[in-house]
Amino acid sequence: MLQDLVERLFIDGSWRRGEGAHIAVENPATREVIGHVAAATPREVDQAVAAARKAFKTWSRRAPLERSRALHALGDNIAAEADAMARIMTLEQGKPLNEAKGEILKLAEACHFYAEEAVRIHGEIVPNTTTDIDSLVVREPIGVVGAITPWNYPAELIGWKLCAALAAGCTIVIKPAELTPFTALAIAKMTEKAGIPAGVVNVLTGSGAEVGQALVEHPDVDKIAFTGSSRVGLQIQRSCTTIKRLSLELGGNCPLIVTASADLDAAVKGAVRRSFRNMGQICIAINRIYVARPVAETFVCRLGEAADRLVVGNGIDTPDADVGAMASAEPLNKTMDHLADALARGGKLIAGGRAPEGEAFSRGHFFRPTVVSDCTHAMKVMTEETFGPLVGVMAFDNLDEAVELANDTPYGLASYVYAKDADEIRYLSSRLDYGNVAVNNVDAGIMNAPYGGRKQSGVGYEHGREGMLEYLNFKHIRIRYDEPKAG
Ligand code: NAD
C-alpha cells in the first residue's frame, strides 16, 4: 500500500501528485528512508478547503443513517486492512507491529462507535412562559474542520476527529505530523474504499508551520481540532485570524500516587505499562510517581526489576516486543536531557539509563526504559513533560503532600492512583485537578467517556458523546403558534 501513497495528496476524492517540495520519511528503527511525501502548497491547501466546503453542502444534508452506514463501512475496511496499515505505522513510527495493529483496530472501533452516535443527534424542546410557543433546540454541524495531529498515535488521534466530525455532518481536511504521514494517507484510502463522497475527507501532508498554520489562518475553515504540544496549541489559539471553534488536546505531565494501602504488584504493573508503553511517547504517560514512604523502597525495587524485564526491539522484526524505537532523535534527546538533569540533582538511577546494546540497535532511536528514584521538584522529570521512556519517583509522608505535589504543574490531563482504602480513593480523586483520574488501572481514556485536559493541557473533549458535540452548533428555533381559525 505504501508505494501508492508516495508523494500523493488526497484532495476532492482524487490522489494528486503534490506540486511542491518532497519530504523524506524515515524508519526510526533503522534511519532508512521509507518514502517521500508532498509538502502541500498554499494553492493545494485552498483546493482542499474548497473541496471540503463544497462537499459540506451535501454531506451535512444526508440522513444521519447514511452517514452512520458510511462510518460502519469505513470501520470494516480498516479492520480488514489492519495488517497492511499496521506495517506502515511501524515503519514510520517505530512501535512494535502488534501494538500498531492494536491501534488500527481501535481506530476501526472508533468508526463503529461514532457510526452509532450519528443516529443519536437529538434535540430538545424547552418550556416557554406561554403555551403558544415552542422552543426547539436542534444541533447542526459546524462546517469544515481542519484536523492537525501528532506522531505518537498516528491513527487513533486522526480517527477520533475524523469519525466524530463525519458523524456530526462536518467535512474535514487532515494535516498529519511530518513523521507519520503515510498512516493518514492510508486512512484516506480506506475512506475512498468505503464510498465516502469526494471532498468529505481530504489529507494534506507537509510542515506544521506552513500547511498546519495555513489551515489555522484559513477563513473558510470553521473549526480546528488539534492534538499536539501545548506550545503549538497556544500558537494556534493566538494566530486564528477569524473566529473559529477550537479543540486543543495538549501536553501532560501525569502523576501516579501509590498509597500505603495499594496492591503494590498491581501498582508496579500499571506504572510500567503507562510509563513505558509506546516508549513513553503518550500524552497520558506516567511521568512522575509519588509513593507513600513506608512502601517506597519496595515499590522502587520492583519497578526497576519490571522495567529491566521489558523487551526493546525493532518493531518489524520483533512484532511482540514490549517497546520499539522512539519516533525520532528529538524525544530521545529530551529524555536524555531530563535524565542527566535528574542525576545531576541527586536522583538515583534504578533501571535503564542507556541505549540497548547490539548491532540491531546501532542506527535507530533506541533507549532502555529508565527509572530514577529520590527525585524532587527541582528536576525536569518531575515538572516538565518528558515524552520518553523515563519516570521519576519520590516518597511522600501524607496524602495532602501527595495531592499538592501531583497538582504542582501547569498541566491537567490525566492522573493515576493506586490505593485499596476507599476513603483514600475518594479523598484523592476529588482533589486531583485533572480531566481524567484512573484509580487502580492506567487506562485513563475509553471510547465512550469524555477525554480532555484542563489548564495548559487544553480545551474541549474527544471520545464519547461529548467528543461529537465538539462538531455541532446548537440552534434555537422559537416558534409562536396561533389557535387554528374556527371551521
Ligand atoms: P507538535 O505540537 O509539535 O505537532 C503537532 C502537530 O501540529 C503536527 O502535525 C505539526 O506539524 C503541527 N504544527 C506544528 N506547528 C504548527 C503551527 N504553527 N500551526 C499549525 N500546526 C502546527 O506535537 P508533536 O511533537 O507532534 O506531539 C507531541 C505532543 O503532543 C506532546 O506534547 C503530547 O503530550 C501531545 N499529545 C497530546 C494528546 C492529548 O490527547 N492531549 C495526545 C497525543 C499527544
* Secondary structure (3-state) at 288: strand
Strands 472-480 and 33-38 come out as: unpaired
Q: Are 414 and 435 in contact (CB under 8 A)?
A: yes
C-alpha cell at 471: 462538531
- 203 plus 294 within the same structural domain: no
**What does each C-alpha distance from 334 to 147, 154, 281, 293, 326 come to in angstroms?**
26, 21, 11, 29, 11
DSSP per position, 20-31 = S-EEEEE-TTT-
171 CA distance to ligand 1 middle (Å): 21
Q: Are 411 and 457 in contact (CB under 8 A)?
A: yes
Nearest Cα residue to atom 35 of ligand 1:
228
Q: Are 74 and 194 in contact (CB under 8 A)?
A: yes
416 CA distance to ligand 1 middle (Å): 23
Confirm whether 444 is domain-assigned: no
- Distance (Å, rounded) from C-alpha 175 to C-alpha 325? 24
pLDDT at residue number 238:
96
Return phi, psi of residue 374, to 5°. 60, 40
Is 249 one of the catalytic residues? yes
DSSP per position, 108-148 = HHHHHHHHHHHTT---EEE--SSTTEEEEEEEEE--EEEEE
Is pLDDT above 90 for 456? yes
* pLDDT tens-digit map of 405-449: 999 999 999 999 999 999 999 999 999 999 999 999 999 999 999
- Distance (Å, rounded) from C-alpha 306 to C-alpha 221? 47
The enclosing domain of 397 has a CATH number of 3.40.309.10
- 243 plus 259 within the same structural domain: no
- 186 plus 308 within the same structural domain: no
Is pLDDT above 90 for 120? yes
Mean pLDDT of 272-291: 98
Confirm whether 448 is domain-assigned: no
* Domain limits for position 390: 254-439
**pLDDT category of residue 129 using cuts at 50, 70 and 90:** very high
- 260 plus 277 within the same structural domain: yes
Atom of ligand 1 nearest to the CA of 215: 20
- Within 10 angstroms of residue 142's Cβ, the number of other Cβ atoms is 19
Strand partners, 348: 373
Confirm whether 98 is domain-assigned: yes
- 297 plus 148 within the same structural domain: no
- 201 plus 291 within the same structural domain: no
- 264 plus 363 within the same structural domain: yes
Q: Which ranges in 414-463 belong to alpha helices (H)?
A: 422-431
* pLDDT tens-digit map of 4-15: 999 999 999 999
pLDDT at residue number 108:
98
- Distance (Å, rounded) from C-alpha 456 to C-alpha 453? 8
Return phi, psi of residue 119, to 5°. -95, 10
- 264 plus 240 within the same structural domain: no
C-alpha cell at 351: 533501571
pLDDT at residue number 375:
98
- Distance (Å, rounded) from C-alpha 158 to C-alpha 201? 11
- 317 plus 359 within the same structural domain: yes
Sheet holding 348-351, edge to edge: 348-351, 370-373, 390-396, 286-292, 254-258, 414-418, 436-439
Mean pLDDT of 452-476: 97
Say which residues have a Cβ less than 8 Å from residue 38's Cβ, sequence separation at least 6: 7, 8, 9, 17, 18, 19, 20, 21, 22, 23, 205, 206
Say which residues have a Cβ less than 8 Å from residue 376's Cβ, sequence separation at least 6: 345, 346, 382, 394
Confirm whether 487 is domain-assigned: no
Is pLDDT above 80 for 230? yes
- 228 plus 315 within the same structural domain: no
SS3 content of the chain, % helix, strand, coil (to 5): 40, 20, 35
- Distance (Å, rounded) from C-alpha 143 to C-alpha 242? 14
Confirm whether 41 is domain-assigned: yes
Angle (deg, nearest 10), helices 82-93 and 97-118: 120
* Secondary structure (3-state) at 350: strand
pLDDT at residue number 192:
98
Q: Are 180 and 2 in contact (CB under 8 A)?
A: no
117 exposure class (CB count in 10 Å sphere: 0-12, 13-18, 19+): buried
Confirm whether 481 is domain-assigned: no
Confirm whether 133 is domain-assigned: yes
473 lines ligand 1 (CB under 6 A): no
**What does each C-alpha distance from 377 to 231, 272, 336, 342, 457 come to in angstroms?**
22, 21, 18, 10, 19
- 10 plus 151 within the same structural domain: yes
48 lines ligand 1 (CB under 6 A): no
Q: How many residues does the chain have?
A: 487
The enclosing domain of 468 has a CATH number of 3.40.605.10
- Distance (Å, rounded) from C-alpha 362 to C-alpha 322? 19
Among residues 142, 137, 193, 192, the alpha carbon closest in space to that of 164 is found at: 142
Mean pLDDT of 323-331: 98
Secondary structure letter of residue 486 according to DSSP: P
The one catalytic residue among 117, 283, 375, 385: 283
Nearest Cα residue to atom 20 of ligand 1:
212
pLDDT at residue number 77:
98
- Distance (Å, rounded) from C-alpha 6 to C-alpha 24? 10
Say which residues have a Cβ less than 8 Å from residue 279's Cβ, sequence separation at least 6: 94, 95, 323, 324, 325, 326, 327, 331, 367, 388, 389
Among residues 300, 470, 302, 458, the alpha carbon closest in space to that of 392 is found at: 300
283 lines ligand 1 (CB under 6 A): yes
Is 109 one of the catalytic residues? no
Number of compact structural domains in the chain:
2
* pLDDT tens-digit map of 80-98: 999 999 999 999 999 999 9
- 272 plus 226 within the same structural domain: no
Q: What pTM does this model have? A: 0.97
211 lines ligand 1 (CB under 6 A): no
pLDDT at residue number 487:
72
212 lines ligand 1 (CB under 6 A): yes
235 lines ligand 1 (CB under 6 A): yes
Is pLDDT above 90 for 1? no
Confirm whether 175 is domain-assigned: yes
**What does each C-alpha distance from 429 to 257, 269, 425 come to in angstroms?**
10, 20, 6
Is pLDDT above 90 for 486? no
Angle (deg, nearest 10), helices 399-407 and 422-431: 30
Strand partners, 139: 474
